[in-house]
Amino acid sequence: MSGTSRPSFYVTTPIYYVNDVLHIGHAYTTIIADILARAEKLMGKNVFFLTGTDEHGQKIEKAAAERGLKPKELADRVVGRVLDLWKALDISYDFFIRTTMPEHERGVQQLFSRLQEKGDIYKGEYKGWYCVSDENFLPEDVPLEKEGHKVCPDCGKNCIVVSEECYFFRLSAYQQPLLDHFAKNPAFVRPASRMNEVASFVRQGLKDLSITRTTVKWGIPVPGDPKHTIYVWFDALHNYLTGIGYGSDDQKFRTFWPATVHLMGKDILRFHAVFWPAFLLAGGFELPQTVFGHGWWLKDDTKMSKSKGNVLDPYQILRWFGPDPLRYFLVREVPIGLDGNFSHEAFLHRVNSDLANDLGNLIQRTLTMIGSYFQGAIADPGPEEPKDEALRLGFGAMKEKVEGLYADYALNKALEEIWAYISVVNKYLAENEPWKMAKRPEARPRLARVLFQAAAAIRGTSHILYPVMPSSMTKVWGFLGEARRPEEVPWADSQFESYRIGQKAAEPVPLFPRVALEDFLGEASVSDSPSRPAAPQPSIPKQAPAAKEKTMDIVTYEEFQKMDLRVARILKAEPVPGATKLLKLQVDLGTEQRTMVAGIAETYKPEDLVGKHLIVIANLKPATIRGVESQAMLLAAVSPEGRAIIPFFDRDVAPGAKVK
Ligand code: MSP
């Protein structure tokens, strides 16, 4: 199909800062964007999905200096990890923009000059309280603290006064045009409740915005006045234009601009709903259709953020479950406009109940029956056998609703509809009891009909679920013997009746692993917070751990030296009651004995361990695991099957010897 004849759908995520590794909150925005992009592609739109990294500014300059790196070196390292994470999460972006790309830098300079020529950018002097962490001057109404400084209302950090000659953007001139635009386009800011906040902020009055810095070297120079660099937000927001070819590929730019939806967390909605449209109006561009400010993922009721130390590493879940359960959970659990509290219990409950039980069992059972009763290819029930209409009609109705809900970004409601249908299909099987029909030869046509209905429902539902869980649903189509992958079949062409009689189904493998809460929590309690003690080496059943290793933060030599690594001799080893993967060890550290709990029972028998020397981290804060205080952590490699393999010493070494 030619790209230009179809309606376009252009979706963006914020571009992420490269001063840190990404957490579940960042993954959330990107997953939503990916689901929308995949759904709209299926529905026949010409989709462009842009994501990327925000690499300039003081925050990056500072983070790089702290690590003894040049800002670009830091950016290059972090970008590698961001790309790895998007791969691990099955993110199908069309372009990954970095603000250090020459096309972007040139584009921003062009746009800056364009506004300058128009008189919307002018030179002046700015003095104000500035938050280095958020790269933002504080609003003037933020009160002074007793100590005489101001604190950033967003991140809580102390701010500094910055006074400098700078260029201003004439934001004040756009107050009325913005209000007019909001009035005419009530869906410009979503969810609707946030439109009110944004409009009332604009109504209170907009002051001109300082958009250059002389104090920041790591930025795009102002054209013709290079001692000034362009403010990182002016630079970053324009990625939405340069990322689709503004200034470098006119045809592409015209195909995709204006954006259909910019997605972001509510923390940066104002930048997107006020500054960004004002820059665009000044530049003479059409405005995006919708700016969607989603809610936050909280941990223990506080926004997940690195500065608060409560971030969750997506790999902690990815290694156990792969991408689909996390994708599903994040969009199923809360409507995207609201905040959600991340809990491992809730996650596991969804995986076990919705994915493993409702969906996984349905697929497993149906395909196994097709395998055992029809050798993988359901026979034609024949014209005599009455058609069951309920599942077919239910499917059509569900599909129509889901189409509207996907298009309206109501992903959790779409999943509710799909699950309501899945439970109808489960009920259909429970009521028809095909396993009983299989025992009666005369019921064979009916058996064929029932299994055909279930398989057709699974095929259709997997297609609809594909945007949310692309890798599992592609597998389901493979099991069903479909010749194509779900993404190759347009939405409108995938009907209930598209499942063909005689199609050869394969033996299914379980799609969603069942993981015991205590095993998962054993690891979660460690990974949740860097200040929490280390735990037993978990068994990692599904995913190779390589990706996790790549995401590790860089540590300085001084930081490494803080770790007290020692040789320990195992004195005693015994199982931990009720845990299949854990062993309790008594070790000699030379000057003292310690108890520790380690997830090594799948690899080692207790009796094989006594007398062996291994490496432990001796100065980790103790953790209580299964009621036992673990006072050290051993080092082990993780095999591809997820088993812990301990590096033992090949000659005698005294317990307590330092490992460097
Ligand atoms: N670089 C700017 C964005 C510039 S866009 C032109 C920035 N980057 S960021 O790395 O801090 O990422 C911000 C985005 O990450 C948020 O808008 C949001 O999309 C996502 N989230 C970060 N923490 C989050 C949660 N705890 N919960 C949900 N989303 C969160 O700001």
Residue 54 pairs with which residues in a beta bridge?
A: 17
| pTM across the whole model | 0.79
**Poorest-pLDDT segment among 14-18, 197-201, 393-397, 598-602:** 598-602
The pLDDT assigned to 551 comes to 35
Does the pLDDT value for residue 391 go beyond 60? Answer: yes
Tell how far the Cα of 16 is from the centroid of ligand 1, in angstroms. 6
Mean pLDDT, rounded, of the chain: 90
Does the pLDDT value for residue 383 go beyond 80? Answer: yes
Can you read off the two tokens belonging to residue 488? Answer: 């190759």
- Give the span between the Cα atoms of 624 and 533, in whole angstroms: 9
Average of pLDDT values for 480-495? 96
Does the pLDDT value for residue 539 go beyond 50? Answer: no
Pick 588 or 29 by higher pLDDT: 29
Contact 289, 60 (CB under 8 A): no
Give the position, in ligand 1's atom list, of the atom nearest the Cα of 20.
10
Pick 429 or 133 by higher pLDDT: 429
Q: pLDDT band at 505, cuts 50/70/90?
A: very high
* Nearest partner of 538 among 527, 552, 528, judged by Cα: 527
Q: pLDDT band at 523, cuts 50/70/90?
A: low
The pLDDT assigned to 547 comes to 31
Cβ(11) to ligand 1 under 6 A?
no
* Nearest partner of 359 among 315, 321, 325, judged by Cα: 325
Pick from 28, 276, 339 the residue to mutate for probing ligand 1's pocket: most ligand atoms within 8 Å of its CB.
28
Cβ(272) to ligand 1 under 6 A?
no
Tell how far the Cα of 557 is from the centroid of ligand 1, in angstroms. 30
Cβ(135) to ligand 1 under 6 A?
no
Question: What is the SS3 string spanning 589-610?
Answer: CCCCEEEEEECCCCCCCHHHHC
For the stretch 66-116, pLDDT in tens is 999 999 999 999 999 999 999 999 999 999 999 999 999 999 999 999 999
Cβ(296) to ligand 1 under 6 A?
yes
Tell how far the Cα of 161 is from the centroid of ligand 1, in angstroms. 25
Q: Which residues contact 319 (CB under 8 A, 6 or more apart)?
A: 540, 542, 543, 545, 547, 548
Average of pLDDT values for 417-430? 98
The DSSP code sequence of 523-546 is: HHHHHT-TTSPP-PPPP--SS-TH
- Give the span between the Cα atoms of 635 and 535, in whole angstroms: 11
Average of pLDDT values for 127-133? 87
Give the position, in ligand 1's atom list, of the atom nearest the Cα of 276.
6
* Nearest partner of 513 among 326, 315, 311, judged by Cα: 326
Tell how far the Cα of 241 is from the centroid of ligand 1, in angstroms. 19
Does the pLDDT value for residue 153 go beyond 90? Answer: no
Does the pLDDT value for residue 543 go beyond 50? Answer: no
Ligand 1 atom 8: the closest Cα is on which residue? 16
**Poorest-pLDDT segment among 85-94, 520-529, 648-657:** 520-529
Q: Which residues contact 138 (CB under 8 A, 6 or more apart)?
A: 128, 129, 130, 131, 150, 152, 153, 159
Does the pLDDT value for residue 454 go beyond 60? Answer: yes
Give the position, in ligand 1's atom list, of the atom nearest the Cα of 268.
17
% of the chain at pLDDT higher than 90: 71
Does the pLDDT value for residue 404 go beyond 90? Answer: yes
Cβ(264) to ligand 1 under 6 A?
yes
% of the chain at pLDDT higher than 70: 94
Contact 657, 567 (CB under 8 A): yes
Cβ(297) to ligand 1 under 6 A?
yes
Average of pLDDT values for 254-281? 97
Give the position, in ligand 1's atom list, of the atom nearest the Cα of 311.
26
Does the pLDDT value for residue 290 go beyond 70? Answer: yes
- Give the span between the Cα atoms of 177 and 171, in whole angstroms: 11
The pLDDT assigned to 544 comes to 30
Pick 447 or 553 by higher pLDDT: 447
The pLDDT assigned to 534 comes to 32
Cβ(50) to ligand 1 under 6 A?
no
Pick from 11, 230, 264, 275 the residue to mutate for probing ligand 1's pocket: most ligand atoms within 8 Å of its CB.
264
Pick from 268, 312, 313, 339 the residue to mutate for probing ligand 1's pocket: most ligand atoms within 8 Å of its CB.
268
Tell how far the Cα of 391 is from the centroid of ligand 1, in angstroms. 42
Give the position, in ligand 1's atom list, of the atom nearest the Cα of 14.
5
Does the pLDDT value for residue 549 go beyond 50? Answer: no
- Give the span between the Cα atoms of 607 and 193, in whole angstroms: 63
Give the position, in ligand 1's atom list, of the atom nearest the Cα of 54.
1
The pLDDT assigned to 333 comes to 95
Q: pLDDT band at 554, cuts 50/70/90?
A: low
Ligand 1 atom 17: the closest Cα is on which residue? 265
Does the pLDDT value for residue 542 go beyond 70? Answer: no
The pLDDT assigned to 625 comes to 80
Tell how far the Cα of 1 is from the centroid of ligand 1, in angstroms. 35
Ligand 1 atom 5: the closest Cα is on which residue? 14
Of 220-234, 303-317, 522-536, highest mean pLDDT: 220-234
Average of pLDDT values for 442-461? 96
Side by side, which strands form the sheet with 565-575? 593-598, 583-588, 565-575, 613-617, 633-634
The pLDDT assigned to 553 comes to 54
Does the pLDDT value for residue 548 go beyond 60? Answer: no
The pLDDT assigned to 530 comes to 33
Helix (H, G, I), strand (E, B), or coil: what is residue 222?
Answer: strand
Pick from 15, 29, 31 the residue to mutate for probing ligand 1's pocket: most ligand atoms within 8 Å of its CB.
29
Does the pLDDT value for residue 555 go beyond 80? Answer: no
Cβ(237) to ligand 1 under 6 A?
yes
Tell how far the Cα of 429 is from the centroid of ligand 1, in angstroms. 44
Average of pLDDT values for 265-278? 97
Phi, then psi, of 227 in degrees rounded to 5: -75, -15
**Rg, the chain, Cα only:** 29
Torsion angle of the four alpha carbons 524, 527, 528, 531, in this order, in degrees rounded to the nearest 10: 130
**Poorest-pLDDT segment among 243-247, 453-457, 487-491, 550-554:** 550-554
Cβ(583) to ligand 1 under 6 A?
no
Pick 524 or 428 by higher pLDDT: 428
Pick from 11, 16, 234 the residue to mutate for probing ligand 1's pocket: most ligand atoms within 8 Å of its CB.
16
Cβ(17) to ligand 1 under 6 A?
yes
